[in-house]
Amino acid sequence: MRRKKPDDLREWCYPFIFETRLTCDYEILTDELCCHIGVVLSMLPEEFTDIREDLEQLQPLIYNLNGSVRGKHGIFEENIEWLKTRYTHYQQASEGRVTGFVLPRGPAPVPQLHLCRCTGKKIVRMLVRLEEAGIKFDEALPRFANVLANFFFVLTVAIKHRLEVAEVPYISINY
């Protein structure tokens, strides 16, 4: 039985919640990522003004990413280039700290940023699934989402560097 919009709007959390298409799942993932960033912002030390400004600029872009599959395209080349620039900024600031796999741990908001990174990967995977299902969207979306996941990782490294917290290497027995 297909669900339909209830008469009582208190029983309806999202206009597309009863869809069976993957588009709704994608939108929920991007919303989740935006919420994770809100958590990070609430935990970010006051002196990290550059990171705060970047995350505050990123939240609306993630909602633009959200609406870019169902609605009008909202992620553009200049957004990707801005994010790449910010990635490079943090990567250069903590150059050489990570040379292999590290365990996703550290003081707040580092673990929360690792959750952002994982959700970013889920968004990339969902875009793959949407494309596989025949949904058309601009190529900028997976490009932006991939840079986004990488950006969150480099932020974890930069924050731990500023806080003088060591990375904990992970040596894989699998690869």
Q: pLDDT tens digits for 127-165?
A: 999 999 999 999 999 999 999 999 999 999 999 999 999
> SS3 for the chain, per residue?
CCCCCCCCHHHCCCCCCCCCCHHHHHHHHHHHHHHHHHHHHHHCCCCCHHHHHHHHHHHHHHHHHHHCCCCCCCCCHHHHHHHHHHHHHHHHHCCCCCCCCECCCCCCCHHHHHHHHHHHHHHHHHHHHHHHCCCCCCCHHHHHHHHHHHHHHHHHHHHHHHCCCCCCECCCCCC
Could you name the CATH architecture of 19-69+101-162? Up-down Bundle (1.20)
Note the pLDDT tens digit of each residue in 78-114: 999 999 999 999 999 888 888 888 999 999 999 999 9
Q: Is the model's pTM score more than 0.95?
A: no
